[in-house]
Amino acid sequence: MHQLRLMIAGLALAACGLLLAHPASVMADDVPPVEAALLFTQSGIAPDGSVEALVRLRHQSGWHTFWQNPGEGEATKIDVKADPEVKVGAVRWPLPERITSEDNKVIGHGYTGEVYLPVLLSAAPGMAVGQSVQVHVNVSWLACKAQDCVEGDTALSAALPVVEKPAATPAAEGANAQIFAEAPVGWQLSAHREGKLAVLEMRAPSPIAEPQFFPLTEMIWHDAAHQYGVNGNALKIAMPLDDFFSGDDSLLQGVVAYRDEAGVQKAVQVSVPLLDAPLEVTPAPIGSSFQFLLLAFLGGLILNLMPCVLPVLSLKALSLAKMGGQGGGLARADGLAYTAGVVLSFVAVGGVLLLARATLGEVGWGFHLQQPLVIFSLALLMVAVGLNLSGLFEMGTSLQSLGGIGAQPNGQMGSFFTGVLAVVVAAPCTAPFMASALGAALVLPAPAALGIFAALGLGLAFPYLLLCFVPITRRMLPKPGAWMETFRQFLAFPMYATAIWLLWVLGGQNGHGGMLIGLSGCLLLAFSLWAWGRGRLVWKLCAGGAVVVIVGLAFMLATIQPMEVEGRRSDPLSSEPYSAARLEALLSEGRPVFAYFTADWCVTCKVNERVAINRAETASFFEAQGIVVLVGDWTRQDPAITKMLETYGRAGVPMYLYFPSGATVAGAKILPQILTPAIIQASIVPRP
């Protein structure tokens, strides 16, 4: 017995010695290398809404798990299940980091520290507020530290309430801090083979630095060094191909991480055919510039036929009639003045647009008409011009000379400002050929971009310039006479119609209150102009007081919060509001989608909607094909819609996209900008 006690004591002392000698290994058994948790970006989910479920992985110091293309490891697996009323999307993988060994060899791609892996959940429209959605997540991973690897898995569950207006949670801040790979916007891409190398050539919209490439397939050796060449916004990456890869090697897919001019880390996802021979990614400057300049010029020509420009062109019609009996020198001077106003205004608008994009981010063509104050000011201007044409007031060479209709023989200044007005009113329109040119202008260097805007202005001014410089056309014009006064008064009505349209747009942006402010401002403007013409001091004071009230109304319009306008659509076509999350959810389900992007101030958009889209035959066709319709309303500024426009090389609306079943966000078919029901159906189901 005594010997047994001595043996037990000896074993205890040995165990204590082991504890003292290796305390860390015992602690490692108590603390798992990875802790998983289930969080949500919102406090609940709204009926017909969406929320991101976040699988948060917290790694102990020195441990890592693996990305979707792991390298020497095993990718983390996430399986999410929810109630039948909830659709579950795919995992959105954050940007990984390179995992290296102690000898600095790359062994894979993965995550350390804390990472959020989001999965989109989309609720059905019929879900009742107050019920709960059960979400179950199974997560498995391979966690490694140095030479040690441990498999882990866990089951997570949560009840997510269905609420009317869910609020953002603190978890969303952590998720948004992750850098997610996104489809490239405005990038020129090509890839080719050079021996046993895959060479990716890219040209970004702006200078980049510190690039990294993370392949999405195993065709690229994960542990081989990549060669990077950066020159401003041009990037060239050479990567060794895996000789043993037996899958599809026709497509180079991956994520390019880089730092922008401000030093902010960003990433874009690329998918480009891997060609056997190099393809020049930098277009020849002369050919490329000429192509876009020609497209811009043709777009400007067609812009003369668009409804948004017709009210201003009516002013020039009167100016041409006035010149019927005058010399060619005056006509040519008038044409040059009008052209100068158009071209310089287009260049100025282009410069402001480029500056706004550089400072504010997501803006596009027609951005100024997304501001209620601009709409209000344009409505007042149209009313003032209309009242002048109606003969309510005369103001010498200012408004009276607008469009060359003043009494003075030299109306070049008026022609110049008519050109300015034509550009302001033409901004909502995007004519054929114009979309590609504007899309290129937003990614080209500033001098080339401004050249495109100048060509667009020259196209808009060219028909009138041609009439002014060709004598035979002037001889065909009627002689000046008493009829001109009647014609002048008649031209006031297109101006009033334009003002009504602008006030309707204002109501769409700020509700009935915004429309009331606009109508009141127009009424006060008419009173002010009438009172000023009475001549007496008391009436002029009244006119000044009305102007002060107009300024106050403008201040109200600029400071009040935009109103959500309900019940704006009563169309036969069943549609949903566009959101990037909703589009991704539908595509992940394999649903075909027709997405169109519109705005109340876009006349072309409204015509297409009336004659082609919101028709019973189109609605029946979409229903028969099982197509979901998404509507992106760009009446007010929406960065998500601006980003989608840029993805397809567009700077403004309208834009019509069809996503067939199985397509990706970047794989839509672009429909023409002028639509009929037959064009829509033929674009989706081509005729044999």
Q: Are 594 and 96 in contact (CB under 8 A)?
A: no
160 and 225 both lie in a single domain: no
* Residue 625 counted as domain residue: yes
H-assigned helices in 361-397:
372-390
Closest by CA to 428, choosing from 632, 651, 185, is 651
Total domains, the chain: 4
pLDDT tens digits, 566-583: 444 456 788 899 988 899
Predicted confidence at residue 280, as pLDDT, reads 42
Where residue 602 sits, what CATH number does that domain have?
3.40.30.10
* Residue 181 counted as domain residue: no
- β-strand partners of 140: 77, 153
Closest by CA to 409, choosing from 530, 339, 523, 322, is 322
60 and 160 both lie in a single domain: yes
Model confidence pTM above 0.75: no
Predicted confidence at residue 215, as pLDDT, reads 92
Where residue 244 sits, what CATH number does that domain have?
2.60.40
pLDDT tens digits, 250-282: 888 899 999 888 888 888 888 888 887 764 433
Among the candidates 559, 589, 618, a domain finishes at 559
- 350 three-class SS: helix
Q: Does residue 79 carry a pLDDT above 70? A: yes
Mean pLDDT, residues 606-633: 89
Cβ atoms within 10 A of the Cβ of 564, count? Answer: 7
* Residue 491 counted as domain residue: yes
405 and 301 both lie in a single domain: yes
Mean pLDDT, residues 647-666: 82
489 and 355 both lie in a single domain: yes
263 and 291 both lie in a single domain: no
Among the candidates 242, 275, 308, a domain finishes at 275
Q: Does residue 409 carry a pLDDT above 50? A: no
pLDDT tens digits, 15-46: 434 333 333 333 345 689 999 999 998 999 99
57 and 164 both lie in a single domain: yes
CA 598 vs. chain centroid, Å, equals: 12
* Residue 195 counted as domain residue: yes
CA–CA separation, 171 and 42 (whole Å): 8
* Residue 156 counted as domain residue: yes
Closest by CA to 215, choosing from 149, 272, 147, is 272
* Residue 13 counted as domain residue: no
Mean pLDDT, residues 618-645: 87
Residue 495 — very low, low, confident or very high, per pLDDT cuts 50/70/90? confident
120 and 253 both lie in a single domain: no
Residue 37 belongs to domain spanning: 32-176
CA–CA separation, 154 and 643 (whole Å): 37
164 and 55 both lie in a single domain: yes
Q: Does residue 312 carry a pLDDT above 70? A: no
Ramachandran quadrant class, 210 (left: phi over 0; alpha: psi -120 to 50; beta: rest): left
CA–CA separation, 647 and 187 (whole Å): 9
CA–CA separation, 387 and 685 (whole Å): 51
Predicted confidence at residue 60, as pLDDT, reads 94
Predicted confidence at residue 238, as pLDDT, reads 92
- Give the alpha-carbon dihedral of 385, 391, 393, 394, to 10 degrees: 90
Residues 6+ apart with CB under 8 A from 621: 677, 680, 681, 684
460 and 321 both lie in a single domain: yes
- 500 three-class SS: helix
CA–CA separation, 437 and 323 (whole Å): 35
Q: Are 517 and 557 in contact (CB under 8 A)?
A: yes
Among the candidates 531, 559, 587, a domain finishes at 559
Q: What are phi and psi of 86, to 5 degrees?
A: -115, 130
128 and 81 both lie in a single domain: yes
* Residue 459 counted as domain residue: yes
Please name the amino acid found at residue 26: V
* Residue 2 counted as domain residue: no
Please name the amino acid found at residue 133: V
451 and 596 both lie in a single domain: no
Q: Are 196 and 221 in contact (CB under 8 A)?
A: no
297 and 372 both lie in a single domain: yes
